[in-house]
A and B are shown apart, each in its own frame.
Chain A
């Protein structure tokens, strides 16, 4: 079973929930950090990393001996990553999506593919928890190839908990896609609600069942709850706005380890998801 933890708004508590849920399951569980621009579950899990792997994308390289500067590669590039002038070809690899159209259409066969490293995957463990995270290299702009590479390590015989990046862009979509269930973590503030609505729209489009955890309850207003009631969205859990929880987080301690009363709540949540969506 794959459970993705997403949010819309950043900083609502995705990692807190993902880490606590994964630890509460205990055995046969993988914690998959797909927030490759700044993976942070490792701070709480402190895994022993056993394996590292580089992730590269394919980018075009032009052989100027063969090129006749016809401009076909530039005109077929959907991402405007190639500029051809009468005597130069400029490739902007940061815009390239590795689709291969330029290579396919080049009438001179002047374009080949080369590897461009963009990040790494790290695989490790803590106790019986499998840990996988992707890291995008600093300065790179394309997280999705790393997210796809990370997700290849998901073992279907286990339960995978995916910590998704914030937002509702490609990175979030690729992180949550093919999940059996998605938990949206939000906070009861106007920003939390606004971005929750965006995330809900994405999940409806992707046909992924979802529920909401309201974190920092007591802060802000009750508009998030009203919205969930009105749309018939299940509120799975409420985590209060408390200094104790914030302190535990700031020390890098998983919520369910510093406040063990949450362990049962997360276990109960997992049993419910497993029996209904597993």
Chain B
């Protein structure tokens, strides 16, 4: 399973970025092999539609779950159209989020 977490930095020690559309990084974690990819968000300074573009980017990575702080209504519409499970209101580090939401085999 792949999960996407909005992150303030490019590693697992970083904190969850509370914004979705304008977060600094998207961390895509794959729990089948415990690897992750950090994608710098190109929409941080978008004039408009940052959430829409970010949602499109995340959906293209095919995660089954998104973990973030808040998702705006436009981004939510795109994410829901892709049947992505959205978990909001999360904070703490990326590592903590992975431990909380991924299968027990990754916890060490």
B78 partner residues in chain A, CB cutoff 8 A = 83, 85, 88, 90
Report how far A85 CA is from B78 CA in the complex, Å: 8
In the complex, whether B24 has a CB less than 8 A from a CB of chain A is no
Q: Can you show 5 pairs from A to B with CB atoms below 8 A apart?
A: A79-B48, A81-B52, A85-B78, A90-B52, A92-B74
In the complex, whether B1 has a CB less than 8 A from a CB of chain A is no
Q: Report yes or no: B59 in contact with A92, Cβ–Cβ below 8 A.
A: no
B56 partner residues in chain A, CB cutoff 8 A = 71, 74, 83-85
Q: A residues touching B (Cβ–Cβ < 8 Å)?
A: 71, 74, 77, 79-88, 90, 92, 95
Chain A residue with Cβ nearest B55: A83
Report how far A186 CA is from B81 CA in the complex, Å: 49
In the complex, whether B106 has a CB less than 8 A from a CB of chain A is no
Q: Report yes or no: A85 in contact with B48, Cβ–Cβ below 8 A.
A: no
Report how far A82 CA is from B77 CA in the complex, Å: 12
A86 partner residues in chain B, CB cutoff 8 A = 59-60, 82
Q: Report yes or no: B52 in contact with A92, Cβ–Cβ below 8 A.
A: yes
Report how far A82 CA is from B74 CA in the complex, Å: 10
Report how far A114 CA is from B38 CA in the complex, Å: 40
Q: Report yes or no: A85 in contact with B82, Cβ–Cβ below 8 A.
A: yes
Report how far A125 CA is from B82 CA in the complex, Å: 53
Q: Report yes or no: A88 in contact with B46, Cβ–Cβ below 8 A.
A: no
Report how far A90 CA is from B77 CA in the complex, Å: 8
In the complex, whether B50 has a CB less than 8 A from a CB of chain A is yes
- State whether A80 and B52 are in contact (beta carbons under 8 Å apart), knowing that A85-B82, A90-B81 are contacts in the complex: yes
Cβ-neighbour of B50 out of A74, A80, A88, A90 (below 8 A) = A80
Q: Report yes or no: B82 in contact with A88, Cβ–Cβ below 8 A.
A: yes
A71 partner residues in chain B, CB cutoff 8 A = 56
A88 partner residues in chain B, CB cutoff 8 A = 78, 81-82
Chain B residue with Cβ nearest A78: B47
Report how far A265 CA is from B43 CA in the complex, Å: 53
Q: Report yes or no: B53 in contact with A80, Cβ–Cβ below 8 A.
A: yes
Q: Report yes or no: B49 in contact with A95, Cβ–Cβ below 8 A.
A: yes
Question: In this complex, which of B43, B46, B56 has the most chain A Cβ atoms within 10 angstroms of its Cβ?
Answer: B56
How near does chain B come to A201, taking the closest CB pair, in angstroms?
A: 20
Q: Report yes or no: B46 in contact with A80, Cβ–Cβ below 8 A.
A: yes
Contact residues, B64-87 vs A (CB, 8 A):
74, 77-78, 81-82
A85 partner residues in chain B, CB cutoff 8 A = 56, 59-60, 78, 81-82
Apart from A86-B59, A88-B78, 9 more pairs, CB < 8 Å: A71-B56, A79-B47, A82-B52, A83-B52, A83-B53, A85-B56, A85-B60, A90-B52, A95-B49
B59 partner residues in chain A, CB cutoff 8 A = 85-86
Chain A residue with Cβ nearest B75: A83
A74 partner residues in chain B, CB cutoff 8 A = 53, 56
B74 partner residues in chain A, CB cutoff 8 A = 92
Q: Report yes or no: A81 in contact with B82, Cβ–Cβ below 8 A.
A: no
Report how far A77 CA is from B52 CA in the complex, Å: 12
Q: Report yes or no: A92 in contact with B49, Cβ–Cβ below 8 A.
A: yes
Chain A residue with Cβ nearest B81: A88
Report how far A5 CA is from B47 CA in the complex, Å: 29
Chain A residue with Cβ nearest B57: A83
